[in-house]
Structure 1
Amino acid sequence: MKKHGESTEYEIYAIRYGTNTNRTRGRNFILDAQPNEILQMDFFCWFLRNGDHAIIIDTGMDAGKAARHGHTMLLDPVSTLRDFGIEPDAIETVVITHMHYDHTGHLGSFPHARFHMQAEEMAYVTGPWMGQRWFRHAYEVDEICQMVELLHQGRVDLHGRDREIADGVSVHWVGGHCAGQEIVRVRTARGWVVLASDALHYYEELERGIPFAVAFNVSDMIAAHGRIREMADSDDHVIPAHDPRVIDLYPPAGPGFEGRVHRVDLPPRLP
């Protein structure tokens, strides 16, 4: 395993598996000055790799549900793992940053994995807030039931607000976007990188100090910006979950992977 001194370092691969080129700023930001202007939304999930060891961060989106929600699938994230010699059957650790449908579409593809998720997120998706359409609209009932089944099989770790998943990988509650939203801190060769997941959909939220439009608690969403900055070595070490700029900033994982899989553990490219 690759180590820096006594500390494990990971490579981070961002899989761009979907996109929506019809998304408007008005759907992304509250009271935006140009609500009808198009702001493309991309969809990412990630895997961490250290030698032969891999950790999955979110599982992407089911193709049928993507179509129903108006998104375009670009690739199958599970099949893409095999392009890197990673067999889903061999995966032991999957982190679910929250349970929105674009993060939980392939739970069944990892039959031997243990799933790690905030206990607050499970309480949220099985509790009274789901009686309100505003809070439940980004969740899929069958995927919630699937996670409950995994829990009853003893395959889910519903952890507290801060948890070390492995040496060099930890998760931290920030809330905001949903009750159990967490971020993932990863040690890499260039320092500590934070996969913000949906605590940041776009870099613009961090740059301007504004919230995303889909929120459970707006104050927690804004407070998360400070927490993200505390955990990352710099703003250049922060990776949002839906910004097309990720593809422009970071190098592809190899020939043929341009626009599909990019290495965010490497330094960003100059503009």
Structure 2
Amino acid sequence: MAGNPCSMKVRAKVKIDNVKKVFAGRNGETVALNGVNFNIEENEFICVVGPSGCGKSTLLNIIAGLEEPTEGKVYVDDKEVKGTGAERGVVFQQYALFPWLTVRKNIEFGLKLKNLRQDEIDRITKRYLDMVDLKEFAESYPKELSGGMKQRVAIARAYAVNPKVLLMDEPFGALDAQSRTQLQSELLKTWEEERKTCFFITHDVDEAIILAQRVVIMSARPGRVKEVVDVDITYPRTQETKMTKKFLELKRYIWGNVYQEYLAVRK
């Protein structure tokens, strides 16, 4: 059931090479990550799970270029990550929309930074408004949208600039169960069409299995890769997939490993 954390098929899209992160605080140093190694292949959908405080978000921030590793390196297409870059799109749990811009203008924002012609911006924006089913709300402001709709705008904005890698930090974590289920289905549909390389953090084991090709289980702090589990369930996946024997077996196995790490934190 488990995969090899350091396996390479041909060339990794993202290579995480012996990453360590130490934070200095008033009470001394905290080692958030220690010796993290794994690769993400081209077009692969990876989900990362683990107990709170195991460094999942820290690792995402390092891949995004928002944090620097204390030791080790991250590569995208064999180029070392040095700061942020347009080839990496990020979607956070808190939506991070510009409240003074309409839905359309929020999606256009990154496109304007690329100095595209307005007709090209209009074409791309329309495509992603349609993709997330928000064309009727194109002129609305974020305060007029539900939480699920805001997150769909954030996803459309990230996709619109055509990043090579999409980094998602619990993007559905603050949503109600119905909105979460809907967005999981929409994200799966979009990924099957676009085939972006995705790195997705979640606390929800069900969510990890329904979305991912592989699930990375992180150990309790200091975070390391405890195991990488292959999700050998064919796409397309639906919410009915969660009722299958294979899904339930994977859920039991992954949750058991995560719970062991949770208990380790409480000792």
Provide TM-score, normalisation by structure 2.
0.29
Whose helix fraction is larger, Structure 1's or Structure 2's? 2
Provide TM-score, normalisation by structure 1.
0.29
Higher relative contact order (CA 8 A, sep 6+): 2
